[in-house]
Amino acid sequence: MTQTLSLPAADAQVPDEPATPASASLGSYDEPAIRTAVPGPRAEAHIAFDEMYTSPSLPRAYAIVPARGEGTVIEDIDGNRFLDFSAGIAVNVTGHCHPAVVEAIRRQAGELLHYSASDFYLPIYAHLAAELERIAPMAGKTRVFLGNSGTEVVEAAMKLSRYATGRQNIIGFLGGFHGRTFGSVSLTASKAKYHAHFSPLLPGIYHVPFGSEGLDELESRVFHRLMPANEFAAIVVEPIQGEGGIVVPDDDFLPRLRRICDEHGILLVADEVQSGMGRTGKMWAIEHWGVEPDMVVTAKGLASGMPIGALIAKEHFMTWGAGAHGSTFGGNPVSCAAALATIDLLEHGGLIENAAERGEQILRTLGPLVGQYPGVVRDVRGIGLLLGIQFDSGATAAAVEHAAFRRGLLVLTAGDDVVRMSPPLVVTEALTAAATRIFAESIEEVAAIR
């Protein structure tokens, strides 16, 4: 049966004309432009349609129905323009539809759409692997496995850790998020709902608190009373926890973690799926602490929105032989082309420096809100453009998120009571100023009725 997908559903109040001709540029906006109630009539109708067909497991934060994007601006299907400080969950590092990325995708799509690098030799796969070795946060020779998503390369890191060490157990941190497939979700410990009804999960996963107190617990309790250190294959850590609520660890944490791994022959795996690719003002978040991991996984920002994930491992740990691991689609040539263009823009387009500067601007502007709204705004934190504003409760965080949405600013909650800001790294000073003003107004609105 064929079905035509058309917008919107029959009985919706739909404006006759789209609010803006699709050819008009979004790039010149430095304020949101909200023309309808949000969600607008087309969005309402589309949501009703969506909810008839899509998996109810999708969490859907609020009713944004994007039609197109440019830079830091997203236009929804009613022609409303939003400042995108969520970037599709911290993905679009080069902004929406950066011309250099779009051009690289177009060129590659006209040459070769797919040829599995698992069974054959795909040139662009090896070129991207070489580039990833060049920018990796570890010195020396590496090897790279490419997947299609964050979870897939976390799984690869877990499998490789077992393979390389001959050990079974893995340590993760409370508040950590690593994905939703069986291995990675077993390692995830940010919300119990990710585990509910899916047992049994992968055995041999131990969790300790994130930060130096967790390492005390690891050394004094886990290694002592639960499982000897030499039975652990890997410790998997987000250098800055993302989904867990933008948690920056104390300065001793990562260097001490490195020492513990060295002492016991445990592999240190940095999960930089969210924090990598320049987002924190350095290519990798772990570089803020001068620590070298044995493996790093990255995904979200790597190809500016095209699906890809990468596991980069020191060469002497990538011991597995032909057939031990692979993927039909992993390292798709179009995604690889987008990744190469993204790395070029990050390094030569000033995006990483901009992430550091705009992050400082946001911290400087929003930091005083803690004193202005005592008991409502608890903390303003983060590094570069991976930032979190912590509130007194999850309900307040969600109310601020929704108030910002109605005003034309897209942000996303994280952890129990945090609103995350993770805009594209191309965001300008003017757009950042507009976003922080709207965010402060949203807090004012919510604080007044609480």
Which residues would be at the binding site for ligand PLP (CB under 6 A)? 149-151, 154, 177-179, 238, 242-243, 271, 273-274, 299
In the complex, least distance from residue 181 CB atom to ligand PLP, rounded to whole angstroms? 8
Nearest CB to ligand PLP, comparing residues 274 and 413: 274
User: Ramachandran region of residue 90, left (φ > 0), alpha (ψ -120 to 50) or beta?
Assistant: left
Question: Is the Cβ–Cβ distance between 404 and 72 less than 8 Å?
Answer: no
Q: How far is the CB of 148 from ligand PLP (least distance, A)?
A: 8
Return all residues near 365 (Cβ < 8 A) that are at least 6 apart. 433, 436, 440
Nearest residue (beta carbon) to ligand PLP:
150
Q: Output the smallest distance, CB 299 to ligand PLP, in A.
A: 5
Whole-angstrom Cα distance, residue 387 to residue 280? 9
The per-residue DSSP string of 364-410 comes to: HHHTTHHHHSTTTEEEEEEETTEEEEEESSHHHHHHHHHHHHHHTEE
Minimum distance of ligand PLP from residue 188's CB (angstroms):
8
C-beta closer to ligand PLP: residue 26 or 247: 247
State the minimum distance, in angstroms, from the CB of residue 172 to ligand PLP.
11
Nearer to ligand PLP, 275 or 436 (CB): 275
CB of 79 or CB of 88, closer to ligand PLP: 88
What residue has token string 């998996």? 55
The nearer residue to ligand PLP, 386 or 434, going by C-beta atoms, is 386
Beta bridge partners of 422: none
State the nearest-atom distance from the C-beta of 241 to ligand PLP, in Å: 8
Q: Using CB atoms within 10 Å of the CB of residue 410, give its burial: 0 to 12 exposed, 13 to 18 middle, 19+ buried.
A: buried
CB of 19 or CB of 91, closer to ligand PLP: 91
412-414 and 377-383 strand pairing: unpaired
Phi/psi at 180 (5° precision):
-125, 5
Residue 264 burial (CB count, 10 A): 16
